[in-house]
Structure 1
Amino acid sequence: MGERSILITGCSSGIGLDAARTLRARGWRVFAACRREADCARLRDEGFESPRIDHGDMESIATGLAEVLAATGGRLDALFNNGGHGLTGAVEDVPVEGLREIFASNLFGWHELTRRVIPVMRAQGHGRIVQCSSVLGYGAMRWRGAYVATKHALEGLTKVMRLELRGEPIEVVLIQPGPVTSDFRFKGRAMFEKYIDWEASAHAEMYRTELVPRLYGPQGKDSFELPAAAVTQKLIHALEARRPRARYRVTLPAHVTWWAGRLLPGRLVEAITAQF
């Protein structure tokens, strides 16, 4: 096999950036996409091919993928859908406009890019599509309702795609991280400020004592947090194994949440989860 190519989205930092650097070192031709042109320019200075792809901008998805395919002669071995953002706040405080924006970034854009990539992979006779989901794709956590909704939807779409592509030479894989070191919390401030009128909320005291300090205080590590490299190691297996798994869980909380949901009564799981 010649040089393998992969398009990775959300490469400005965290999981995407670590994956891009590691896979390039392993001999992959990496197209490291970012939402902002300034981040793309920084990665180009680092030697990457870096198209601008903003999951919330359908035109950038079309032009960014076209740029990749023009560079590869119309082939693409793998796609790693990554990136997106959160919207912290009680479900009742999240306006529909906020849900629309987070779904556009965390689901609709991923779906559009994936739909465009599948015919390319089908025509060339092989391909891997890896979706970066979350422990919150099958679990739940207070104040994360909007993000949880996007990841549950992503998991559902991905499971159905696996069923529909059975017998075809395209593997679709889920990676389900738990707490991973990134700028995710810091980047979530803009969405919080844009959509959550927390001082007028019935939960104002909870925002004041829990959520606002968490968003704006020192960005310490979460319990059981792992570096982004832990996700990359699972990604390597998903991309390079002859028969990859359907899903790869990363971090202890991801494994515990999976098994708790299958072995414990639902009310007990809720009682435990409500402590976090």
Structure 2
Amino acid sequence: MQNILITGCSSGIGLETALFLQKNGIKVYASAREQKDVKMLEDLGLKAFKIDVRNKDEISFALNCILKEDKKLDCVFNNAGFAVPGAVEDINTDILKELFDTNFFGLHEVTTQAMRVFRGQGYGKIIQHSSVLGIISLRFRGAYNSSKYAIEGLCDTLRLETLDSNIFISTINTGPVTSKFRENSLKNFKKHINIENSFWKSSYEKELKARLESSDDKGIFTLPPSSVANVVLEIIKSKKPKPRYYVTKATYILGFAKRVLSQKWLDKLLQKV
């Protein structure tokens, strides 16, 4: 039986993927940052660890427990992450560092610790949850954009460094997927952005805040979290998984636009998205 460690399983894509994989015969080790969420995962019948990806010791403990029980680790799915919407000029540097600590440096720590296991056993798969925002940029998404672009660069390099091995690196570039991501992003926006004193106050009120507060999470491009879970299962079962997997039509459309349009025309398009 193949096994997998998944980060960020408290809700949404992480939770759905953990439950889906377990139903499909994969031994799942789920994880969450808060102990109450770990208990929730255990109550759902999942093996679970408390992992804040910023904590090296919690990552090491989980990996050691998995190796002690299974003598191997087949796959890691780095899913933990969050967003702080707002214009680049309104994002406090300390908040940007906090976001990178989870979205990028935490992912890097999980990746490097898993790589030591994979190098030792001679095989393994690392799946990084990236985004369409790791391919193109949108206004008011600068912090999140930056972290996802960093992931893309890291994975492109790591993939080159593992080409002659049986270790595979894949990124999943998701577009809009039903989850608590929008709800959590709105909380972070209200907490960290000084709307009243911003040059972008009018745009925040008319565009961003209204979109984040919208209860409609079922747009024509929006897919359920099972769409990501299916891709993760596909990667696990594949002998030679692809470097990149697109999820949602928005990712395909914007990815295509990035390839064929000049930067000038791409900017004009993205300004309207």
Q: Same fold (TM over 0.5)?
A: yes
User: In structure 2, the residue corresponding to 1:50 is in which secondary structure?
Assistant: strand
User: Runs of 5+ in structure 1 lacking a partner?
Assistant: none
TM-score normalised by the chain length of structure 1: 0.94
Q: Does 1:272 align with 2:269?
A: yes
**Matched-pair contact (CA < 8 Å) for 1:51–1:67:** no
**Matched-pair contact (CA < 8 Å) for 1:129–1:173:** yes
Paired residues for 1:103-142 under 5 Å: 103-142=100-139
1:88-147 per-position Cα deviation (integer Å, ceiling 9, x unaligned): 000000011011011011010010011011111121221111111000001111110000
Q: Tell me the CA shift for residue 219 of structure 1.
A: 4.4
Q: Does 1:242 align with 2:255?
A: no
Match of 2:186 among 180, 189, 194: 189
Mapped to 2, the partners of 1:258 and 1:220 lie a distance apart of: 22
- The residue number in structure 2 matching 1:50 is 48
1:124-171 per-position Cα deviation (integer Å, ceiling 9, x unaligned): 221111111000001111110000000000000000000011111111
Q: Does 1:12 align with 2:1?
A: no
Mapped to 1, the partners of 2:67 and 2:184 lie a distance apart of: 30
Match of 2:61 among 60, 63, 72: 63
**Matched-pair contact (CA < 8 Å) for 2:221–2:249:** yes
**Matched-pair contact (CA < 8 Å) for 2:178–2:217:** no
Mapped to 2, the partners of 1:68 and 1:103 lie a distance apart of: 27
**Matched-pair contact (CA < 8 Å) for 2:159–2:168:** yes
Paired residues for 1:170-249 under 5 Å: 170-249=167-246
Match of 2:88 among 82, 88, 91: 91
User: In structure 1, the residue corresponding to 2:82 is in which secondary structure?
Assistant: coil
User: In structure 1, the residue corresponding to 2:127 is in which secondary structure?
Assistant: strand
- The residue number in structure 1 matching 2:251 is 254
**Matched-pair contact (CA < 8 Å) for 1:51–1:68:** no
Q: Tell me the CA shift for residue 57 of structure 1.
A: 3.1
Q: Tell me the CA shift for residue 55 of structure 1.
A: 2.0
Mapped to 1, the partners of 2:81 and 2:66 lie a distance apart of: 20
Identity of aligned residues (%): 38
TM-score normalised by the chain length of structure 2: 0.95
Q: Which moved more, 1:3-12 or 1:186-195?
A: 186-195
User: Runs of 5+ in structure 2 lacking a partner?
Assistant: none
User: In structure 2, the residue corresponding to 1:199 is in which secondary structure?
Assistant: coil
Corresponding pairs, count: 273
Q: Which moved more, 1:55-64 or 1:39-48?
A: 55-64
